[in-house]
Amino acid sequence: MPKVIVIYHSQQFGDTKTLAKALAEGVREAGAEIEIISTNHRRITIDEFLAADGVALGTPDYFSYIAGTIKTFFDDIYLWDKSGESVKGKPAVLFFSHGGGGRGREPFEYLAGKFFEQVGETVESKRPTGDETKEQCRMLGKELVKRLK
C-alpha cells in the first residue's frame, strides 16, 4: 500500500487545514496510507520523509510567499540532499490558500520543482474555501495515489 505524507501550515482562518483534510480524504479513498503533519506543531524528520512514497504540500500565501515553516521544510530537504540523502523525485501535489493575493503560487511551485515531480495542477483557494475547492483537493489526492500505484 502506498504511503502519502501531507505536510501543511495553517493558522488564522484554517483554510489550508481544510484543504489538507480534503486531500487526505481523497488519498484514503484511493487506498493509500496517510500521515498528516502540521508544521505549526513540529518539523518533519528525514525518516518520515523517506518513508513516504508521495507528498502533498500546503501553505497559505503570506506576503506573496510561502509560510515560514514550509520554507523551513524546503531548507531541510536541501540540507538532506547536500548530505547525500536520496530526497529528490518523489511525486507531489501542491495546494495553497490566500485572502486575495495569490502570488505565492510562483515561489511555491518553483521550490517544489527543485525536489519533486509535480502531479496535477496546484489547487488554489481564495478565502473562504468552498466546496468546489475542497473537491478539487480530494480529487488531487486520488490523482497522486493513482500515480503511485
Domain ranges for the chain: 3-148
| pLDDT digit string, tens, across residues 39-61 | 999 999 999 999 999 999 999 99
CA distance 63 to 103: 8
Considering the chain, what is the average pLDDT of its residues? 97
Asked if pLDDT for residue 83 goes beyond 90, the answer is yes
Q: What's the one-letter identity of residue 140?
A: L
Question: What mean pLDDT do residues 55-74 have?
Answer: 97
Task: Using DSSP bridges, classify how beta strands 33-38 and 3-8 pair: parallel, antiparallel or unpaired.
Answer: parallel
Could you give the C-alpha distances from 44 to 73, 74, 100, 121, in angstroms and in order? 7, 11, 29, 24
Question: Which pLDDT score is estimated for 117?
Answer: 98
* Residue entry with cell 500521515: 35
Asked if pLDDT for residue 113 goes beyond 90, the answer is yes
- Residue 123 pLDDT class (50, 70, 90 cuts): very high
Work out the angle between the directed axes of helices 68-82 and 105-115 (0-180°, nearest 10).
20
Asked if pLDDT for residue 26 goes beyond 90, the answer is yes
Residue of 59, 1, 81, 69 lying closest to 35 (CA atoms): 1
CA distance 59 to 148: 23
Question: What mean pLDDT do residues 111-138 have?
Answer: 97
CATH architecture of 3-148: 3-Layer(aba) Sandwich (3.40)
- Residue 100 pLDDT class (50, 70, 90 cuts): confident
